[in-house]
Amino acid sequence: MKQQQLIFNERPNGLPNASTFAIKEVKVGSPKQDQLLLKTLYISVDPYMRGRMADGPSYISPFQIGEPLNGGVVGQVITSESNQFQQGDIVTGMLDFQEYHIVNADQVRKVNTFGLRPSVALGPLGMPGLTAYFGMMHIGEPKQGETVVISGAAGAVGQIAGQLAKRAGARVIGIVGSEEKAAYVTETLGYDHAIQYKHGDVHKQLKQACPNGIDVYFENVGGEIGDAVWPLLNAFARIPVCGAISSYNLKEGERDIGVRVQTYLIKARAKMQGFLVGDYTEHFKEAYEELGKAIASGELKYEETIREGFESIPDAFIGLFTGENIGKQLVKVAEQE
């Protein structure tokens, strides 16, 4: 039995394109003792994967040319040779991008979907949702009446981060890249205001939208958008730095040049903290329960942008950097059985 596998074909210089990827046909294989055969249902494409396409040390190993890409996958157990899993179980893990998987039982975990579509395990109940949770609740710590600004506000992380700040009683302003996203964050998610960065001077727009300054800035974008925020920071502002997507596609030798932040941090006695969801594993369980209940009850909303078919992974990934997705970008590979 043959399947498709997505190969990392070429290191991109700048924005990834079709030749960054290649599709290979490989054999499926069969599970041994304590192994599972999984069918891929959903594949997650995420901006952080761009970092793995560069060579050099980081918190996560770089992709190797000629080897499969790898990331968040939701699959269904087809054959179980483990007493921990049954046929039909929905599981998730960090797996190679291919249609089927032979995995050891400890490489995946069963998903409690709270009755929702299993894709939630890659979005609001997966890495993006937990990232939003820890960044906002453990670093941002929004308080009643404070002003919270979120860049990439309609994205997989931003959509959850902003609602958590609303729930804490803050005034929430989302920075987004389109009319449709502005409507989504204000009408569906309940943010107080949306700023469209393509509508000109972000600093001016922010100044108008934040007459009392900014207490929390949840950073997903960086670049000129971050620069527009610094002069508006209030005393003891917090800046969880989740991402800086505007700089991920710099070409070789280019540096991310802009406003240096030090004087603004001193003036505001502000704290700016980079973080990764993986640093909070000891709190995963409580966060997962809290998010799961809030999402299942409809208290927290979310959106998914889903492309169909294994071969659409490259386009789905590239679209992350051109702002095509609202909420979590996924690729649906197969129907659940």
What residue ranges bind a copy of itself (CB under 8 A)? 58-59, 219, 222-223, 226-227, 235, 241-244, 247-248, 255-276, 279
- Residue type for position 180: E
The DSSP 8-state label assigned to residue 47 in this structure reads T
Report how far residue 228's alpha carbon sits from residue 207's, in angstroms, rounded to the nearest whole number: 9
Nearer to a copy of itself, 244 or 294 (CB): 244
Nearer to a copy of itself, 148 or 295 (CB): 148
CB contact at 8 A, 216 and 141 = yes
Report, in Å, the least distance between residue 85 CB and a copy of itself. Answer: 33
Report, in Å, the least distance between residue 249 CB and a copy of itself. Answer: 12
Q: What is the 3-state secondary structure (H, E, C) of 133-156?
A: HHHHHHHHCCCCCCEEEEECCCEC
Burial code (b: 16+ CB inside 10 Å, e: under 16) for 65-83 equals eeebbbbbbbbbbbebebe
Report, in Å, the least distance between residue 230 CB and a copy of itself. Answer: 10
Nearer to a copy of itself, 223 or 319 (CB): 223
Nearer to a copy of itself, 63 or 248 (CB): 248
Report, in Å, the least distance between residue 204 CB and a copy of itself. Answer: 16
Report, in Å, the least distance between residue 78 CB and a copy of itself. Answer: 37
Nearer to a copy of itself, 183 or 261 (CB): 261
The tokens describing 163, both together, are: 């609602």
Report, in Å, the least distance between residue 21 CB and a copy of itself. Answer: 23
CB contact at 8 A, 70 and 95 = yes
Q: From residue 244, how far is each of 47, 110, 220, 254, 330 by CA, in Å?
A: 9, 31, 5, 15, 20
Report how far residue 140's alpha carbon sits from residue 160's, in angstroms, rounded to the nearest whole number: 13
CB contact at 8 A, 333 and 41 = yes
Nearer to a copy of itself, 120 or 153 (CB): 153
CB contact at 8 A, 49 and 317 = yes
Nearer to a copy of itself, 119 or 151 (CB): 151
Report, in Å, the least distance between residue 53 CB and a copy of itself. Answer: 14
